Amino acid sequence: MNGTGKTQSVKKILRSILIIIVILCLAAAYFSAAGLSVLGVGYLSAYNGEGHPSDYTDTSAFKEATLDTLDRLYLSVTTDTPGLPGLDGGIVYFAFGLASNRVVCSDSSITDIPTFEEAYLNGSNMEYVCRVSGGVYTTLSYASGAAESEKFGFADSAEFLGGEIRRYDDCVIIFALPKVGASFSGFGLSRFELAVLSEAPMYIMTLFGILLVSLAIVIMSGSVRRRIERKIGAMVVWTWFEFKLALLGLAVWFTLSADGLIPMLVRGLVTGIPLLYCLGCNARYYPSSFFRKSFFADLVGSVKAFADSLLPVLPLQIKLRHRIAMLVIFGFAVPIGVFFLADALIGAEGIRLILPFYVFYLAVAVYIFVRHYIRLCNGVSDLIRGSSMIALGAAVPEFGFEEDDDLYPLAQNLTQTDRAAAASADRMFLQTNKKLSELKSASTELRDMISVLEITIRSADAGPELAAQIRNISDRADSLTRILDAEAPLTAPVLKRCDLLGILDEVVNAHLPELSAARLSIRAKLPSPPAYITADPSHIHAMLSIIFDNLAKYTLSGSRVELSLSLENGHWVFEMVNTVAQSSSSVDAKLLPSSTGLIRAREYVELNGGRLERTMDGEHFKVSFSLPAAH
């Protein structure tokens, strides 16, 4: 067993390690594929067929951002375009329109070009400066590490601006950039394009190798992957349908809100692909569960479950539903409607006139509701009291409900149920009594035949062996007769007011010879008589006879027995405790559970509305029973 347990533990550890490896390979395959997609699309969009740029100012992204910035500044001083939305953060600019005499500057305190150049361009840390004036483009760049200045005329603006031609007549435009950081939009995209064009081939080959290796491991471990995907699908099942839709909508919005192909692709890979993969696992292993779990559906189901308790299944439910509806309509809706109507027609004075009548109206409504509630509670109490008679074996009394009463159907059902149970019990009693009577008759006939056989053998002077066999057969017949007498069905109790102490005194006096022969020391702690109970005296007498007969037969010789009787919570509680016994074991004590007849005694007690219990601790025992006290 130890070897098998260790083997199972090792297998679990190896399976866990394999699951972790497959999860890591799944992540590696996804991230390598995502990286390949981003790098591939980025490389294709950045490569313009003219070779690699020397620095980021030669990239297509930088030229597009420059053209966009110049267009926005030109429009701001030549048209009524309000503000400059969309410019990169950190850029400083100055634009002046000769025709419109309008100035736009990143610093609102500067109104002329010399002041702007003195503040931002002379000795500043700007890495790139572009100036347009009189159709001439002048640039100063420190992107390559050294100062590089270039001039472009109107004819060469197409090459400078990436294929577009801009003259920007009658205006002066200057903008400058600090050090540009990598990003997926604006001037920062040029950094990304430069890195992709210079390093992308090596990264693409590396990611492609990682993708192949991880995919190979994932494909080879198909059973483990399916187990992982099934767990993912199970987790998706437990999420709300509304939450799934919200995630899908958020992923679509987050992806489409990106400005540009690369940012859209990156956001889609980060949010959309993992979400679609999880939903795909759910669709593969739990195909019909996507629309099943819903918070709104559960809420509607809870409301429906509450409404189902008021459905018109029984007349009482119909009346309860109607009364609730009437209370809501006439106790709330109608008064509120009257108040609003009075306020609209006759104003606050009308409401003051209505309030005293409403107080009287509310008092009447509450009185009617309380009266029906009291009647219902009293009727339920009558049903509870009547149903308690079933446990005592008595017939359920007539409740006296009228046919239009709310509880009339329940009373009728309870009465019919009691009659059916009584008829079934009578039928079973007759059937059992008939079978036992036949067996008892056969046993008596057998006993008579054995008696005749004993007389015949005695007159024939048979040997001792045959006589011993006949005595053995006679003892077996007597034992069978006693068993049939013990298994005979009990009669229904005839409940009377009787004194438990008087019955106990009769039983003890009848068993004094057996108790004395067993040398038992009995100590009794009993109250002063009487101790009235409501029970069948014959049943209680038979039950006590069984208990004291067992006490005399099976209790070890020399034992001490304590008897007590007390009134607790409306029941007389009797206890018999064997407190001292010999140290040696006893065969009779071991046979006590199956040979004492306490099952029959318990039936007597339960038929009279009581309860009997018996406990054993080694050779010690305790028997207790409780019977309802008479009122």
Confidence (pLDDT) at 370: 83
Do the beta carbons of residue 523 and residue 561 sit within 8 Å?
Answer: yes
Do the beta carbons of residue 525 and residue 563 sit within 8 Å?
Answer: yes
* Whole-angstrom distance, CA of residue 490 vs CA of residue 546: 14
Do the beta carbons of residue 73 and residue 95 sit within 8 Å?
Answer: yes
Amino acid at 256: L
CB environment 498-510: b (16+ within 10 A), e (fewer):
bebbebbeebeee
Would you place residue 323 in the very low, low, confident or very high pLDDT band (cuts 50, 70, 90)? confident
- Is the pLDDT reported for residue 129 higher than 60? yes
Quick: pLDDT tens for 88-104. Answer: 667 889 999 888 888 88
* Count of CB atoms situated within 10 Å of the CB of 55: 17
Q: What is the pLDDT averaged over residues 36-42?
A: 75
* Whole-angstrom distance, CA of residue 49 vs CA of residue 60: 11
* Count of CB atoms situated within 10 Å of the CB of 30: 16
Q: What is the pLDDT averaged over residues 336-341?
A: 80
H/E element, 409: helix 408-459
Q: What angle do CA 407, 412, 414 make, to 5 degrees?
A: 95
Range of weakest confidence among 317-331, 333-347, 385-399: 385-399
Cβ contacts of 287-292, under 8 Å, gap ≥ 24: 289/236, 289/237, 290/236, 290/241, 290/244, 291/241, 292/237, 292/241
Strand pairing partners for 564?
Answer: 525, 575
Task: Provide the 3-class DSSP secondary structure of residue 145.
Answer: coil
H/E element, 154: none
Range of weakest confidence among 168-182, 247-261, 435-449, 499-513: 435-449
* Whole-angstrom distance, CA of residue 74 vs CA of residue 130: 14
- Is the pLDDT reported for residue 185 higher than 60? yes
* Whole-angstrom distance, CA of residue 166 vs CA of residue 157: 7
Q: What are phi and psi of 621, to 5 degrees?
A: -145, 160
Confidence (pLDDT) at 352: 75
Amino acid at 580: V
* pTM score of the predicted model: 0.37
Q: What is the pLDDT averaged over residues 364-378?
A: 81
- Give the strand order in the sheet containing 571-580: 521-525, 560-568, 571-580, 620-628, 611-617
Q: Helices (H) and strands (E) in the chain — how many of each?
A: 21, 13
- Is the pLDDT reported for residue 357 higher than 70? yes
Confidence (pLDDT) at 122: 80
- Is the pLDDT reported for residue 233 higher than 70? yes
Quick: pLDDT tens for 247-270. Answer: 888 888 888 887 777 777 878 887
Q: What is the 3-state secondary structure (H, E, C) of 16-68?
A: HHHHHHHHHHHHHHHHHHHHHHHHHHHHHHHCCCCCCCCCHHHCHHHHHHHHH
Range of weakest confidence among 259-273, 451-465, 508-522: 451-465
Quick: pLDDT tens for 401-425. Answer: 777 677 777 777 777 777 777 777 6
* Whole-angstrom distance, CA of residue 442 vs CA of residue 200: 106
Confidence (pLDDT) at 592: 40
Confidence (pLDDT) at 574: 92
Confidence (pLDDT) at 593: 38
- Is the pLDDT reported for residue 363 higher than 60? yes
Which burial class, exposed, middle or buried, applies to 557 when counting CB atoms under 10 A from its CB (0-12, 13-18, 19+)?
exposed
Amino acid at 76: S
Task: Provide the 3-class DSSP secondary structure of residue 256.
Answer: helix
Averaged confidence pLDDT in the chain: 77
Select, from the ranges 7-21, 181-195, 300-314, the one with the highest average predicted confidence (pLDDT).
7-21
Confidence (pLDDT) at 591: 37
Do the beta carbons of residue 264 and residue 255 sit within 8 Å?
Answer: yes
Residues in the chain: 631
Range of weakest confidence among 178-182, 256-260, 322-326, 579-583: 579-583
Confidence (pLDDT) at 83: 60
Do the beta carbons of residue 70 and residue 173 sit within 8 Å?
Answer: yes
Do the beta carbons of residue 166 and residue 153 sit within 8 Å?
Answer: no
Do the beta carbons of residue 97 and residue 77 sit within 8 Å?
Answer: yes
Cα Rg of the chain, angstroms: 51
Confidence (pLDDT) at 427: 72
Confidence (pLDDT) at 462: 62
| Domain 496-628 class, CATH top level | alpha beta
- Is the pLDDT reported for residue 543 higher than 80? yes
- Is the pLDDT reported for residue 58 higher than 50? yes
Q: What is the pLDDT averaged over residues 28-55?
A: 73
Sketch the domain layout of the chain as residue ranges: 11-43+192-285, 57-180, 315-388, 496-628
The label of the residue with tokens 């059916």 reads 420
Q: What is the pLDDT averaged over residues 276-291?
A: 81
Select, from the ranges 136-145, 180-189, 351-360, 561-570, the one with the highest average predicted confidence (pLDDT).
561-570
Do the beta carbons of residue 342 and residue 350 sit within 8 Å?
Answer: yes
Structural tokens at position 145: 């590490």
Q: Is the peptide bond before 530 cis (omega within 30 degrees of 0)?
A: yes
Is the Cα dihedral 42, 47, 53, 56 positive or negative?
negative
Confidence (pLDDT) at 32: 83
Range of weakest confidence among 92-96, 146-150, 461-465, 527-531: 461-465
Quick: pLDDT tens for 578-628. Answer: 876 443 333 343 334 333 467 778 888 888 888 898 887 666 778 899 998
Greatest pairwise CA separation for the chain in angstroms: 159
Confidence (pLDDT) at 94: 92
The label of the residue with tokens 């009463």 reads 405
Confidence (pLDDT) at 625: 92
Packed helices 348-391 and 334-345: angle between N→C axes, nearest 10 degrees? 180
Supply the DSSP symbol for 629: B
Q: Give the whole-number percent of the chain exceeding pLDDT 70.
A: 79
* Whole-angstrom distance, CA of residue 425 vs CA of residue 178: 102
- Is the pLDDT reported for residue 315 higher than 50? yes
